[in-house]
Structure 1
Amino acid sequence: MNISLSLFLPGASGQRVKVEPEVSSYPGQTVNLRCAFTDATGIQLTMVTWIYEPKEGERINIAVFHPNFDPNYPDSPVKGRVSFTPSPPSLASPSIQISEVRMTDEGRYICEYATYPSGNEQGITHLVMLAKPQNSASIVTVEAGTKPVVVARCESLDGRPAAQISWVTTANGNGTTVSKAGADNTVTMTSEYRMVPTAADNGKDISCVVAHRTQVKPESFPLKLAVQYAPQVTIVGYDNNWYLGRTNVMLTCQATANPVALSVLWKTLSGEMPDTVQINGNELKVLKVDDAVNTTFVCEVKNRIGVGKDQVTAIVREPSVNPSNAGVVAGAVIGSLLALLLVAALVAVLITRSRRQQQGYRANGGSDMKTRIFGGGKKASKNGTGGGAGSGGVGGGNNNGPIYVYNESSSHQGLGEKNNHHQPLTMGGRPEVVATTPTAQDILLSNELDDAERRKFDELEAEERYDHFSGGAPILQLRPPHDQDDIIGDYLDDDMESQRDGSVISRTAVYV
């Protein structure tokens, strides 16, 4: 069986000898080499000769056919394996076949016609012997250094034709490929990848790609570089906040190495390890920070290649604020500020209310009567006498105080005195005169205020009605003129209490 890779075309342009330019075959197979004369009009074909021309060496006749004689096969490397086909042959189609082809059979095969009167005409076929190579790739373990070395090797063994090898990697290097003649005319291709290895190159991807005619697609061999290096060490965990009394702080010694680390050693530059330090492998734990921890910690990691180390200088600080009480302190400060703000607001409100009450109130207009009650005893009876111990005198321990009524309809009588049911109080059968002294309210409620002040008090009157009053000053209670049954007066009289100095105060009012 042979593999033809081209059409059956004339051997050369303008020539009439028809052959296949190239035929390929694997060792041990049978290959057919076809030949024909396309147009013999006016030409006499005399003889056909097949000639073998090796890649290196001289031309050799391997098969001769003359119509008047039997086929002849001279001595050659293919004698005994070459023959005309079909048999018997003809001048029109003198093809040959070679059985059990060998790698050494590769070369050029020439079909040559002897003609009259044109002379000799020929066509050439290239026989290509194929051998599928054995491909492989491997990593070369190296140590990190400063000179280029071979870090990977790829090989295509006993192939025909020679394989093509390439490298795919992000490493900074280059490949070098060499060929070597193998057995039975095969070729072995070897490629080496060289670079200056560093610790960062360890584990990088590198692939060897082999392309060959016998393969449907290139064969790839993915690998990882193996670079050995001394440990690279880093200490983590120090936050620059080691204060006196802090507990359970930890340092961790992290190391990368190839091969793996054999040992981890903690020590200090001062030579002594503090008593509050516990070591567990690559971890160093400080149970409680004290002055002895104010030192430089060193971590050393060793492997077969060498030793790597790192160090951290711990600075012990004075504690600024106890971290456990920080939240409590912050809460106390914020609470105090809020309390101060609240007290200040309350004081401002109370002062404002007190000033407004000292200025007094005025009527909103018309002929309405506004009654100011400044004290009182028990409610007077319907017959004009105060209720209490006796019907003709002042009862209980309370004295009925005067009730001042401001009548806006009278500009001359702004203040009038009124007792219960407009009857004077009597003591032992004699009328008792109650002295009245004008107060600040009396003056402010007079018509001496200008229009601007009147409008001001009108607004205060609307905003500070007693049913909405919530200030901290004494509560002033008004008895409307239409309270005929003394319902409110009842409450007021019961609420008032006389004092030893002759004054009368309320039991329920709030004072500041």
Structure 2
Amino acid sequence: MARRDARNWSDCTKMIGLLCLIASIFVIHGTSGQRVKVEPEVLSYPGQTVNLRCAFTDATGIQLTMVTWIYEPKDGERINIAVFHPSFNPNYPDSPVKGRVSFSQSPPKLQSPSIQISDVRMTDEGKYICEYATYPIGNEQGITYLVMLAKPQNSASVVTVVAGSKPEVVARCESADGRPAAQISWVTTVSGNGTTVSKPGADNLVTVTSEYRMIPTAADNGKDISCVVEHRTQVKAESFPMKLAVQYPPQVTIAGYDNNWYMGRTNVMLTCQASANPVPTSVTWKTMSGSLPDTVQIVGNELKVLKVDEAVNTTFVCEVTNRIGTTKDQITAIVRDTRLPEKGPTTGSIIGAIIGVILLLAIIGTAIAMYRKHKKNKLNGDGPPKYKPPPPQKTTSNANNVNSSHVPVAENRNLLNQYRSTQSEEPVTDLDTYHEDDNDDDDGGGGAERREHYYSAAPSGWDDPGNNEVPPPYMHTDSDPHDYHPGPNVNRGDSFVSPAMFV
């Protein structure tokens, strides 16, 4: 058991030591890489002058001995292009850039040995390494990538094809003599796919060609397709909208026959409609029997029958020709003895019209009925009374006793029936007064008794109007032209209901 634990401990120690070694290597490499400061990438166009900067940022405790610039092509070996030692003059070994490369400062300095290359070429693209020889840590370096740019010449075109059943190239797009290679894509609604090929040219230039393939049909003719080119030298993608050009033979249809050619009908017409790419070159009318009837006129793609007779009871054929081929369509005309009845309005329209008329009549009938009912109610006097009588006056208990002693119950019922049977008379509003027949006025005692009874029923606080004052409007006087019908006598302490009044 102890041996196994010792063995495990030994394995863990070895693993920790290996991890520490790897971490120290990364730390040393990262620290040294940070000391040599360069630009990771420099862009340039042909004919320009580029500056490749380099500097040793922290030389504390380090002795800088020499600096060397190295050029490494994309596909090639490393080549020294510039060397500087403080004890010697700058040196420029043989290289593809000799005569065009030099240190930016004169004399150069080890702390900032930047170089410049004039009249750069597309072949100058590649890796440029600034490498220091130092003591005691050894060589330190930084890498700059020089990217040469060349704006390509972009173009696109459609390819005219004939409709068929095999895939064909219907459009091409090209980005020529660019650096780096362009990216080409297609935008369209038709079903197909694009294939892209890159071809290197002189001075590291690249030409990219893309073709769009599909199975062309007549329906695809004129549809939109666009080629989109993206390149590093362009601010935005360049688009080339186009329309597909698919050629196909004519597609022919005869229109104008209504199946109602009857004897004697005049000026009926057939039209030969055709779509084709390229455009048709000829349109020919004929019949299955060969010759056209005498009553037929041909104007372009139109066949006009001046008068329908037995001669046009035949099959008419229209042939259309273009560069791709010839297509025809035919129609058989049937001459009838009599004219077919014209189609009337649809059943739905008739039903809708009938329903509309019924609804209109119902509305009118309802309005008339309501008007007549309103007029009848007005003539019959229905509704609330137009005349509002004064409220009944309250009298004292003595007056009630006197009245009740003079008017029997049977007489009250007769008076009530007489009142209800008369609608033109004024309603009785004074329930406390009872008048005898108008002849009683001649009797001196009767009139005085009635006046005394009237005044005794007046509320407290009222003054006696006297003989010269006018009695209330509901008092019966000798000057009233209408007959007065006394109402029933009602005891003043009891509740009562007035009889119905009609105005």
5+ long unaligned stretches in structure 1: 1-9, 324-512
Q: Confirm or deny that 1:147 pairs with 2:166.
A: yes
Q: Could you give the per-residue CA deviations for residues 15-44 of structure 1, whole angstroms, max 9, x where no partner exists?
A: 310000000100000000000011111111
Give the match for residue 302 of structure 2.
283
1:87 aligns with 2:102: no
Partner Cα separation in structure 1 for residue 55 and residue 91 of structure 2? 19
Contact residue 11 and residue 122 of structure 1 kept, 8 A: no
Once the two structures are TM-superposed, the CA of residue 145 in structure 1 deviates from its matched residue by 1.2
Question: In structure 2, the residue corresponding to 1:29 is in which secondary structure?
Answer: coil
Q: Report the equivalent of 2:311.
A: 292
- Equivalent residue for 1:52? 71
Match of 1:181 in 2: 200
Structure 1 residues 321 and 104: CA distance shift in structure 2, 3 A:
closer
Q: Distance in 1 between matches of 2:316 and 2:104?
A: 91
Separation in 2 of the partners of 1:183 and 1:12?
41
Structure 2 residue aligned with 1:22: 41
Indicate if the aligned counterparts of 1:266 and 1:299 stay in contact, CA closer than 8 A. Answer: yes
Q: Which residue of 1 aligns with 2:464?
A: none
Give 2:215's match in structure 1, choosing from 185, 196, 201.
196
Correspondence for 1:117 among 124, 136, 139: 136
Q: Does 1:35 align with 2:51?
A: no
C-alpha contact (below 8 Å) 2:33/2:140 kept by paired residues = no
- The answer to whether residue 233 in structure 2 is matched with residue 208 in structure 1 is no
Aligned to 2:367: none
Match of 2:281 among 262, 279, 304: 262
- Take 1:63 and 1:80, find their aligned partners in 2: how far apart are those partners? 11
Structure 1 SS opposite 2:203: helix
Equivalent positions of 1:54-453 (< 5 A) are 54-320=73-339
Q: Is the 8 A contact 2:260 2:340 kept in 1?
A: no
Query: How far 1:320 moved relative to its partner?
Result: 4.2
More strand by share: 1
In 2, distance between residues paired with 1:301 and 1:184? 56
Separation in structure 1 between the aligned mates of residue 32 and residue 325 of structure 2, nearest angstrom:
72
**SS of structure 1 residue aligned to 2:286:** strand
Q: Give the Å deviation of 1:318.
A: 2.8
> 1:260-285, CA deviations, whole angstroms, 9 ceiling, x for partnerless residues?
11111101112232221111110000
1:199-227 residue CA offsets vs partner (Å, 9 max, x unmatched): 11111111111110001111111111111
The aligned amino acid for 2:193 is N
C-alpha displacement at 1:135, in angstroms? 0.6
Contact 1:261–1:302 (8 Å) recurs in 2:
yes
1: CA distance between counterparts of 2:127 and 2:229? 28
CA contact (8 A) 2:32 2:140 kept: no
CA distance in 1, matches of 2:138, 2:48: 35
Is the CA contact (8 Å cut-off) linking 1:11 and 1:20 kept in structure 2?
no
d(CA) in 2 for partners of 1:36 and 1:311? 89
Q: Is contact 1:11-1:19 (8 Å) kept?
A: no
Q: In structure 1, how many angstroms separate the alpha carbons of the residues matched to 2:198 and 2:208?
A: 4
TM-score (norm 1): 0.60
Cα distance in 1 for partners of 2:68, 2:212 equals: 50
Give CA-to-partner distance per residue, 1:63-83, whole Å, 9 cap, x none: 011111111100000000000
CA contact under 8 A between 1:15 and 1:121: conserved in structure 2? no
Report the residue type matching 1:187 in the other structure: V
Cα deviation per residue 1:79-101 (whole Å; 9 max; x = unaligned)? 00000111111011000000000
Residue identity opposite 1:293 in structure 2: V
1:164 deviates by: 0.6
Query: Could you say what the CA RMSD is over the residues aligned between the two structures, in angstroms?
Result: 1.6
Moved over 4 A (4+): 10-14, 320-323
In structure 2, relative to structure 1, the CA distance for the partners of 1:306 and 1:11 (3 Å cut) is farther
Residue 11 of structure 1: CA displacement? 9.2
Instruction: Decide whether the 8 Å contact of 1:11 with 1:21 is kept in 2.
Output: no
- In structure 2, the CA distance between the partners of 1:56 and 1:271, relative to structure 1 (3 Å rule), is same
Structure 2 counterpart of 1:133, one-letter code: P
TM-score, normalization by structure 2: 0.61
Are 2:132 and 2:139, in contact at CA under 8 Å, matched by a contact in 1?
A: yes
Matches of 2:268 and 2:341 in 1, distance apart?
Answer: 16
Paired positions, count: 314
> How far did residue 105 of structure 1 move?
0.1
Match of 2:365 in 1: none
Give the 3-state SS of the residue equivalent to 1:255 in structure 2: strand
1:235 maps to a residue whose letter is I
**Maintained 8 Å contact 1:12/1:123:** no
Q: CA deviation at 1:304?
A: 1.1
Q: Is the 8 A contact 1:11 1:124 kept in 2?
A: no
Mark the CA change 1:316 to 1:14 in structure 2 (over 3 Å): closer, same or farther: same
